């Protein structure tokens, strides 16, 4: 095993206890102050508990909690009520399942995600825009790697930061759409612990070419798929990546608004295991 492969192996084993993690997503129902908030936090808890249980029983290696149904999102800091609600949800889920739980505060509130994770002991967060400048449906979002890394140091936190590169639902501003440069900037200049590569939008997978380019450019840092992974494509996609954050294809009928389907979870996990075994056989 080469130095780069060994580094990736150690990083992933420490975080997920496997070298090819399946990270299932719990999409929280609308939270307080969001446009579609229904006024009942109990229903938010119930749905989150059901989905986390379904994911864990289906065999995922980790879970990430997102305020997905709070759209339309603010591009920077969320309301304190959202932070409080997500903290309560993550704490409850951590008592119910044994897999690691991470946090993504949409659209790009990495400071709140890191604060929650540090307080509850969650091992990782996802950051949509860590470096660079992206044009999104929320407006122009600037990466704040400097502030976030200083904040992590101030908190004394060892929470890992998984950062999107050229994130979905966005376009880079002022620079060419150069994946190699973006990967290098995110890891070397932004100090991310791993990167996430997605397609252009939710449910769209990245191309094998992009995954290969990103994996080579990452030079041993973990590369996760951030969108569009499904049971029928993950065996191919995992050949040029290390794991997948997956949601849509695990829902009933593949409908993002529906609850998690444990049968679909198991199908995906089995396909990942098959693809990882093929990958291992080639090395």
Residues in the chain: 283
pLDDT at 65: 98
pLDDT for the residue numbered 203: 77
Q: How far is CA 71 from the centre of its chain?
A: 17
Which range of residues forms the domain containing residue 154?
A: 3-282
Average pLDDT for consecutive 10-residue bins of the chain (283 residues)? 60 89 98 96 97 97 98 95 98 97 97 98 97 92 96 97 90 79 96 93 88 95 95 96 95 92 96 94 83
- The total number of structural domains in the chain stands at 1
CATH of residue 21's domain is 3.20.20.70
Q: What is the pTM of this model?
A: 0.94
pLDDT value, residue 43: 97
Residue 70 DSSP one-character state: G
Element (H, E) at 67: none
Provide the pLDDT for residue 120. 98
Q: What is the pLDDT of residue 169?
A: 83
Q: DSSP letters along 228-257, please? A: ---TTTHHHHGGG-SEEEE-GGGBGGG-TT
At residue 5, the pLDDT reads 59
């Amino acid at each position: 095993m080469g130095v780069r492969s060994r580094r990736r192996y150690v990083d992933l084993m420490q975080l997920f206890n496997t070298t090819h993690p399946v990270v299932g997503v719990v999409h929280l129902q609308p939270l307080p102050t969001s446009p579609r908030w229904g006024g009942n936090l109990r229903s938010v808890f119930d749905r989150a508990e059901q989905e986390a249980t379904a994911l864990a029983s289906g065999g995922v290696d980790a879970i990430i909690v997102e305020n997905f149904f709070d759209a339309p999102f603010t591009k920077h800091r969320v309301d304190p009520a959202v932070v409080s609600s997500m903290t309560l949800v993550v704490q409850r889920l951590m008592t119910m399942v044994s897999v690691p739980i991470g946090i993504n505060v949409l659209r790009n509130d990495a400071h709140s995600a890191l604060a929650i994770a540090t307080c509850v002991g969650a091992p990782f967060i996802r950051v949509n825009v860590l470096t660079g400048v992206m044009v999104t449906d929320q407006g122009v979002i600037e990466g704040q790697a400097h502030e976030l890394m200083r904040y992590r140091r101030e908190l004394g936190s060892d929470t890992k930061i998984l950062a999107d590169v050229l994130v979905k639902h966005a376009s880079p501003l002022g620079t060419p759409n150069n994946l190699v440069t973006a990967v290098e900037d995110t890891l070397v200049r932004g100090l991310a612990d791993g990167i996430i590569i997605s397609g252009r939008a939710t449910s769209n997978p990245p191309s094998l070419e992009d995954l290969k380019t990103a994996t080579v450019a990452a030079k041993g840092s973990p590369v996760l798929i951030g969108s569009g992974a499904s049971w029928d494509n993950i065996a191919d996609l995992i050949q040029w990546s290390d794991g997948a954050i997956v949601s849509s294809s695990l829902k009933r009928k593949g409908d993002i608004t529906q609850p998690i389907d444990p049968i679909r979870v198991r199908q995906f996990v089995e396909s990942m295991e098959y693809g990882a075994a093929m990958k291992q056989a080639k090395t």
